[in-house]
Amino acid sequence: MFIKRKHRLVIIFSSLIIIVVGVSTLIGYSLYVHWKEDSFALKYRNSIYKLTAELFKDKIAISNVSVGNKNSQIPSSVPFVKGSLKNNSAKTVSSVLIELVFQEPNGIVVYKDWIYPLGVKKTQKTFPLFYGLVETSNVLLPGEGISFRHPLRNCPSAVLRRITEKTNFARKDEKNAIEISCSVVGLDLL
């Protein structure tokens, strides 16, 4: 059977389109599979980071947490939290994520922040969804303690007003006082 020249061009063009669609589908599927593997690896690292924090949070002591507003390195309008951190475990801590929660006595959360008291490398962004990706610049050896200071840059104006007025901030005896609670939510050990 004889195929006309016009029909050959249609057959070749159709075949090329089918091949391009098939190859692009295979490439897209391959990229999707690699992305899913990376996504599962990140979820696994994050779950290990949180699980380690749950297991060892009693071994990490957070003390002397206070809120202030005077610091030479931070503008005076930005309040900061300072405190101490001590490693009471037998392992070296390479990364600690602390969650600061400011809440009213009735349980309403006014402000929440996360800090890395061991410092974060300058190229890294600190965001709680990416716990496993953060590299800290220091380590905390067994029995060692450090002090930390963290600015509260996105602090609500009501909380900021209570800090600057030097009223009974974070005291439990006032009915409108704000309570500060700190907890270890991420931990990486060497």
Q: Does 124 have pLDDT greater than 50?
A: no
pLDDT digits (tens, 9 = 90+) for 3-32: 677 788 888 999 999 999 999 999 999 888
- List the one residue out of 116, 114, 153 whose CA is nearest residue 135: 116
Count of domains forming the chain: 1
Q: Please check whether residue 20 lies inside any domain of the structure.
A: no
Evaluate whether 56 touches 147 at the Cβ level (below 8 Å): no
pLDDT digits (tens, 9 = 90+) for 84-106: 989 888 888 888 888 888 887 78
Q: From residue 48, how far is each of 32, 36, 121, 190 by CA, in Å?
A: 24, 18, 21, 13
pTM of the model: 0.63
Determine the pLDDT at residue 148: 86
Average pLDDT of span 126-145: 65
**Mean pLDDT computed over every residue of the chain:** 77
Q: Please check whether residue 44 lies inside any domain of the structure.
A: no
Determine the pLDDT at residue 171: 47
Evaluate whether 90 touches 189 at the Cβ level (below 8 Å): no
Q: Please check whether residue 18 lies inside any domain of the structure.
A: no
CATH number of the domain where residue 89 is located: 2.60.40
Determine the pLDDT at residue 20: 95
Domain enclosing residue 128, as ranges: 56-189
At 172, is the pLDDT very low, low, confident or very high (cuts 50, 70, 90)? Answer: very low
Q: Does 38 have pLDDT greater than 70?
A: yes
